[in-house]
Structure 1
Amino acid sequence: MDKKAVLKLLGNELEVELPILSGTIGPGVLNIKELYRITGLFTYDPGFASTASCSSAITFIDGNQGILRYRGHDVNDLAENYDFISIVYLLLYSILPVPEQREEFLSTMQKSSKVPESVANVIKAFPNDAHPMSILIACFASLAAFYYGKDTIKDLSCGISAIAQIPSIVAMIYRHINSKEFINENKNNESSYSQKFLTLMFGDEINYNLFTNAIDKILILHADHEQNASTAAVRLSGSTGSNLFACLAAGVTALWGKAHGGANEAVVNMLQEIEKSGDLEKFIAKAKDDKDPFKLMGFGHRVYKNYDPRARILKQTCNQVLSKITQKNRLLEIAIKLEEIALKDEYFIERKLYPNVDFYSGIIMNAVGIPLQMFTPIFALARTTGWVAQWYEMIHDQETRICRPRQLYIGK
């Protein structure tokens, strides 16, 4: 028997039956599609904290249990046993590839990875001190013009092109703001998506054996995260029938905010602030003072009320990377000490303020030598896969309608 809830409106004796929809796992939802028609009332939910805006088969999160799954696969298993190329395949095609499928898909990606010259020229047109996220938005807007009119609905070719080109674009942005020549992409067809990206960024400047696996795990763990702000922006824009690449630009715009993709950048800013002060205990005390607006960046998460499962994986990866780095890094030393204190302090334990994925990803990228302002573009690089998968799912969903949130008017 289908479950239903009954909404009683006091005063006019009206009762409304609201169907309860059940997913595969996770909380059920009240179906309120007919609520306004029947009652003349909207619902009020700032931030959409209690609202399911769509149905999806891509990613599942249980924040209380600390669970994250892509297409039903636990992210711990995926990060341990697969590379990012395999995760891209999984998110796009719903299954993990066998070796032959992976190689064929990799070949398709390589054939689609050439960045149009017009996009390279857009990057060069920006001043060297421009924020890389502003350049990345312009690059996706330029691709929207380049791919305008192409049939993006029948197959995944345009989405694959976006995922294949984004490492080159982010690397080119990095080299432009550092006044370096672009590296010829044709010389870099490595079997590892992450190594190719690092090669296009740094050339021969870094130890790829040390850092490729760590960057690959960062990309895997950031590939998708349910209906977060940037994914919602992609879906909202896409609901109007907008071009895939224009929707990706909307995703980058949302991701730029410090409360979203800029969080790992905020972690390193905080560590620099602590270093300048020289008093870590003072910052711990400020974070525990409920009257002080200061908070430790990289601790706690809106969704995860348990330990962020992505943080568990990156903590291990972070320790592996740091154990092999010989030069001292004061920010990394502060981060390690901060982590030790927070994991033992009852204040943080009681409030479940565990280090989250942004804490460790920021430390790893700092160790690699990636500049602070490039952190969020690399997040966008990883998340482009999720955005593409969510966009294609949305346009094939028969229930998709143009998004039109309501409001509670409080003006004159």
Structure 2
Amino acid sequence: MGKPADSRADKNALSIVDKRTGKTYTVPITDNSIPATAFKNVAAPKAVGERDENETNRGLRIFDKGFLNTAVIQSQITYIDGEAGVLRYRGYPIEQLALHSSHLETAYLLIYGSLPSKEQFNVFEKEVIHHGIVHADAENFFRSFRYDAHPMAILTSAFAYMGSYYSEANPSLQGQTLFTKGDKASLAIMDKQIYRLIGKATTLAAMAYRVRQGREFVIPPTGLSYTGSFLYQMDHLGEENYKPNPVLEKALDVLFLLHADHELNASATTVLQTGSSLVDPYSAIAAGCASLYGPLHGGANEAVIRMLISIGSPANVPAFIEAVKKREKVLSGFGHRIYRTSDPRSFIVRKTADEVFAITGKDELLETAMALHDAAMKDDYFVSRKLAPNVDFWSGLIYRAMGHNHLSPLTSCLRTDV
């Protein structure tokens, strides 16, 4: 391999010896990553009996099932240290944002890179809320679904449906450089779609929810916050001067904020991959919504509730724990693909849950949840595997206490801002 090089340029490289051919290859290291395409040069003759599909003579492939160690984009938006249990948005610890910021302010931070001034926030909030109104024809669209359709199935379709209204936002119709020109007109079109997507997300989710409840739709009110308007649209039953409970409004806002971004999770990756074909942003969000529907992603909080219902009572927790160890039952709401210690959001959600239960009364499942939590945290089987409660364990109970049993649409609202 030769003498070690002294220059920094040579040190920031990886030397690879292919024992099949005896050749040595140098791969540059940039930002602690190497280009996967460099391995296309690491070719070898086809071995006797080797299958043609390996294409050995065309270079090595990088096999990374599930993106466990693959970077596909450079980003300064979110930082996660799974070993230390750290989550930051644009450099701000999630704990600080949950305490001092709001979901819309944090959405601005994630999108534009800095916290807004008071004037910037007022404009942003006004535009988002203004674009919460949907076309009157949307009512017919929502009424076309069965009464027992899951709100996520409705919401996924609704985002794609919205794209049919805004041809000016479709690169297929307006040209491939629609969002990449960088001029004022291009940026203005992009901003308008941001306002529309965030503004209409709560309206569409509320409409999907009310289809399931068999209720008439509610026009977004004026004079309420983003999350206040959402709760109003979901829960208003004709009361005069109805306003959502401020504690529940704040709790929902915190949950929105905590879920706003989490690096390249499944739904974010789906949106990026779909968007790479230059579809309109509504179709890309619809694809992300479909990804979020799954029980291993946005549907995880619903899975927690179903699990707790199946356990039945605290007395049944020990038997359930043993069944999990034998792989006869699935434990939802514990562990995380990234966090190897506690999910930092779970502590915030736990505190928020106490505030919500003080208003709504304790959910009948809470005692079962607490018993399961305590049993798992004292059991070496779970402790050794670092299976601590994650954000979904407590958030599902909060949504349920607020009367919203189908929870995935709520998570969809929070993630349309990124």
Q: Normalising by structure 2, what TM-score? A: 0.85
Of the candidates 194, 204, 210, which is equivalent to residue 227 of structure 2?
A: 194
Q: Name the amino acid aligned to 1:364.
A: I
Give the distance between the partners of 1:123 and 1:7, measured in 2 at CA. Answer: 57
What corresponds to 2:416 in structure 1?
384
Q: Name the amino acid aligned to 1:181.
A: E
CA RMSD, Structure 1 to Structure 2 (Å): 1.8
Of the candidates 84, 106, 110, which is equivalent to residue 91 of structure 1?
A: 110
What corresponds to 1:397 in structure 2?
none
Give the distance between the partners of 1:210 and 1:346, measured in 2 at CA. Answer: 37
Kept after mapping to 1: 8 A contact 2:39/2:61: yes
Matched, 1:211 2:251: no
Q: How many angstroms does 1:168 deviate by? A: 0.8
What corresponds to 1:285 in structure 2?
322
Kept after mapping to 2: 8 A contact 1:298/1:359: yes
| Secondary structure at 2:168 match in 1 | coil
Matched, 1:296 2:337: no
Taking a change above 3 Å as real, the CA distance of residues 62 and 131 of structure 1, as seen in their structure-2 partners, is same
Kept after mapping to 1: 8 A contact 2:314/2:368: no
Matched, 1:77 2:96: yes
Give the distance between the partners of 2:143 and 2:231, measured in 1 at CA. Answer: 20
Question: Larger deviation: 252-261 or 91-100?
Answer: 91-100
Matched, 1:12 2:47: no
Matched, 1:48 2:67: yes
5+ residue gaps in structure 1? 23-27, 387-412
Of the candidates 24, 30, 55, which is equivalent to residue 21 of structure 1?
A: 30
| Secondary structure at 2:312 match in 1 | helix
1:5-404 maps to which residues of 2 (within 5 A)? 5-22=14-31, 28-37=32-41, 39=43, 40-150=59-169, 151-153=178-180, 154-155=186-187, 156-185=191-220, 187-190=221-224, 192-203=225-236, 208-275=245-312, 279-287=316-324, 289=325, 291-326=326-361, 328-371=362-405, 373=406, 375-386=407-418
Give the distance between the partners of 2:415 and 2:289, measured in 1 at CA. Answer: 9
Taking a change above 3 Å as real, the CA distance of residues 342 and 323 of structure 1, as seen in their structure-2 partners, is farther
Cα displacement string for residues 182-241 of structure 1 (whole angstroms, at most 9, x for unaligned residues): 1122x3331x21111101100158851231111111100110110111111101111111
| Secondary structure at 2:196 match in 1 | helix
Taking a change above 3 Å as real, the CA distance of residues 196 and 152 of structure 1, as seen in their structure-2 partners, is farther
Taking a change above 3 Å as real, the CA distance of residues 216 and 16 of structure 1, as seen in their structure-2 partners, is same
Q: Name the amino acid aligned to 2:339.
A: Y
Q: How many angstroms does 1:329 deviate by? A: 2.9
Q: Name the amino acid aligned to 2:18.
A: L
| Secondary structure at 2:232 match in 1 | helix
Cα displacement string for residues 3-34 of structure 1 (whole angstroms, at most 9, x for unaligned residues): 11122211211222122221xxxxx2222223
Q: How many angstroms does 1:340 deviate by? A: 2.4
Taking a change above 3 Å as real, the CA distance of residues 17 and 189 of structure 1, as seen in their structure-2 partners, is farther
Cα displacement string for residues 90-112 of structure 1 (whole angstroms, at most 9, x for unaligned residues): 11111111222211211111222
Give the distance between the partners of 1:180 and 1:152, measured in 2 at CA. Answer: 39
Give the distance between the partners of 1:65 and 1:188, measured in 2 at CA. Answer: 43
Q: Name the amino acid aligned to 1:29.
A: S
Give the distance between the partners of 1:30 and 1:50, measured in 2 at CA. Answer: 11
Give the distance between the partners of 1:298 and 1:331, measured in 2 at CA. Answer: 14
Kept after mapping to 1: 8 A contact 2:132/2:196: yes
Q: Name the amino acid aligned to 1:34.
A: A
Taking a change above 3 Å as real, the CA distance of residues 337 and 322 of structure 1, as seen in their structure-2 partners, is farther
Kept after mapping to 2: 8 A contact 1:112/1:165: yes
Question: Larger deviation: 354-363 or 274-283?
Answer: 274-283
- How much identity, in percent, do the aligned residues show? 35
Larger CA Rg, structure 1 vs 2: 2
Q: Name the amino acid aligned to 1:111.
A: H
Q: Name the amino acid aligned to 1:241.
A: L
Q: How many angstroms does 1:269 deviate by? A: 0.3
What corresponds to 1:25 in structure 2?
none
Kept after mapping to 2: 8 A contact 1:64/1:304: yes
Kept after mapping to 2: 8 A contact 1:166/1:381: yes
Kept after mapping to 2: 8 A contact 1:110/1:189: no
Give the distance between the partners of 2:222 and 2:145, measured in 1 at CA. Answer: 25
Q: Normalising by structure 1, what TM-score? A: 0.86
5+ residue gaps in structure 2? 1-7, 44-58, 170-177, 181-185
Give the distance between the partners of 2:148 and 2:330, measured in 1 at CA. Answer: 29
What corresponds to 1:393 in structure 2?
none
**RCO higher in structure (CA 8 A, sep ≥6):** 1
Kept after mapping to 2: 8 A contact 1:267/1:359: yes
